[in-house]
Chain A
Amino acid sequence: MLHRRQVLTLAAAAAAFVALPGAARVALAQASGDRATAFVKATGDKLVAVVNGPGSAAQKREELTRIIDQTVDVDGVGRFCLGRFWRTATPDQQKRYLALFHQVLVTSITSKLGEYQGVRFTVGRSRSQDEEEVVSTVVERPNNPPANVDWVIANPNSAPKIVDVIAEGTSLRLTQRSDYASFLAHNSSNVDALINAMQQQVASAG
């Protein structure tokens, strides 16, 4: 329960925000955009350094996993992708699902980037969308046409985390969610079946 003083502070903060002159608020939005852009730049540089660097596939996977853990809201994305089935799943199923989802995400990102020695990316502009910042980048992989990739960043000011990657207008989490939804619709909404399928997928990707 909120303390009286906390309530007062909150109210004062809210009043201050409302009273902020337009220019200052624009500056604030600008600042969160700059922070999000810097965050994407730093994260992208780290990813590219690993992908283009030396080291075996296993080593690269390990390093990419570490970066993804630090920069992506994996649990949040996982819950989103399970959609309405998250609520009907048992706590045990939720736990196993999230652990597997983690590996699926790493595998998916590794195989999207891992094989591309010489990947390059350029950070473009950012824009605000609800509470999130969307940072545009162009990713160039050898042998492939350049791709426009947008990174959706939650909490750009306090604890920035990647919550979605939008490649050429297609959202990673929406696509993953419809994949799982369709799988569940054809497997009598059985979350265990989904978990088994994910397990096989992770095992076969090695």
Chain B
Amino acid sequence: MPAVFRSPNPLSRIWHQVAVAGLLALSLAACATPPPADDPEAVADFKATNDPLEPTNRVFYAVNNGLDTVILRPAAQAYRFVVPGKVREGIHNVLSNLGTPVQLSNDMLEGKPRRAGDTTMRFLINSTVGVLGIFDVAKEWGYPNHDADFGMTLASWGVPEGPFLFLPVLGPSDPRDAVGFGVDIVQDPFTWVGQGAAVTALGWSRFALSAVDARERVLDSLDQIKKTALDPYATFRSLYRQHRHAQIEALRNDNRATIPVWFPQQAGPTGNGP
């Protein structure tokens, strides 16, 4: 068998199963009852909320919340308690550096050459000077990080987000981001590289560490929301969408010129160049 066509590692097979389970659940989904048509404001609210699968979504929210309470949150707390802040920052940077191939691919699919350049420079600088990505030197050198995933790429292509989804294990999403999640796994070279126990173990470690790292970074914020929100599910729904819109807005507004500063600059339309 040629090396290129190796089967994906077991981790992606698990995700495949998760995705199938999710789709199955969706096909059994109960639908939210729309408000009576004689209350136009309530109907407008219902449409704006765009959560037709709300009853099913709430079930998955409850399940995820239970899993989080007994597994992920304690793990994140232990991680914060045991590992010093500077080390956690380093681990976060390494994980983020491992994500650069997917990021670069999405930057290019989004047609953002400056973002792709930033990502490339970040990978080159941080993998070497930054010691395998532990230190984010590139940020200091003028290559700041940005968000890029295939959900955002689809958004930049004009694909609408669709109704709100709360997926088992994965949490808040929508059809666009759920597809994006799958495509990002396929785009990730680490999905396709290598076989054997060591690779599998590394893949799982990366996955587990990413989950704990991501959870630790929002420990205080999530506790806060669960404590103060009257309807945490609705609050997370709103927060998720607002956050995604902000990321997509930042992507759309990033229209920096593609000529690097050190290159002889072209005369602008009103310029006084030669």
Contact = CB atoms under 8 A, between A and B. Distances in A.
Interface of A: 84, 104, 107-108, 111-112, 141, 143-145, 168-171, 174-175, 178-183, 185-186, 189, 194, 197-198, 201, 205
Contact of A179 (B42, B221, B238): B238
B237 A178 contact: yes
Interface in B222-258: 224, 227-231, 233-235, 237-239, 242-243, 245-247, 249-250
Nearest to B39: A189
Nearest to A185: B45
B228 A174 contact: no
B228 A201 contact: yes
Q: Is the interface of B mostly helix, strand, loop or mixed?
A: helix
B245 A169 contact: yes
A180 B41 contact: no
14 contacts: A104-B228, A108-B224, A111-B224, A111-B228, A143-B85, A144-B221, A169-B242, A170-B246, A178-B49, A178-B234, A178-B237, A182-B237, A197-B230, A198-B230
Most chain B C-beta atoms within 10 Å of own C-beta, residue among A175, A179, A185: A179
B38 interface: no
Nearest to A175: B238
B217 interface: yes
Given A145-B217, A179-B235, A198-B230, A169 B85 contact: no
A20 B237 CA distance: 46
**Which of B35, B41, B42, B231: most chain A CB closer than 10 A?**
B231
Contacts of A141: 220
A108 B221 CA distance: 11
A31 to B, nearest CB: 25
Number of chain B interface residues as a range = 20 to 34
B246 A183 contact: no
Main secondary structure, interface of A, reads: helix
Nearest to A197: B230
B239 A170 contact: yes
Contacts, number: 76
B243 A169 contact: yes
A182 B234 contact: yes
B112 interface: no
Nearest to A177: B238
A169 B231 CA distance: 20
B231 A170 contact: no
B114 interface: no
B41 A179 contact: no
Contacts of B35: 185
A167 to B, nearest CB: 9
A195 B200 CA distance: 53
Given A143-B80, A143-B85, A143-B220, A186 B245 contact: no
Contacts of A197: 230
Contacts of B227: 111, 205
Given A170-B243, A181-B45, A144 B234 contact: no
A108 B228 contact: yes
Contacts of B247: 169
Interface in B28-56: 35, 41-42, 45-46, 49
Contact of A169 (B49, B230, B246): B246
**Which of the listed residues B35, B49, B80, B246 has the most CB atoms from chain A within 10 Å of its own CB?**
B246
B231 A183 contact: yes
Contacts of A181: 45, 49, 234
Contacts of A170: 238-239, 242-243, 246
Contact of B224 (A84, A112, A180, A185): A112
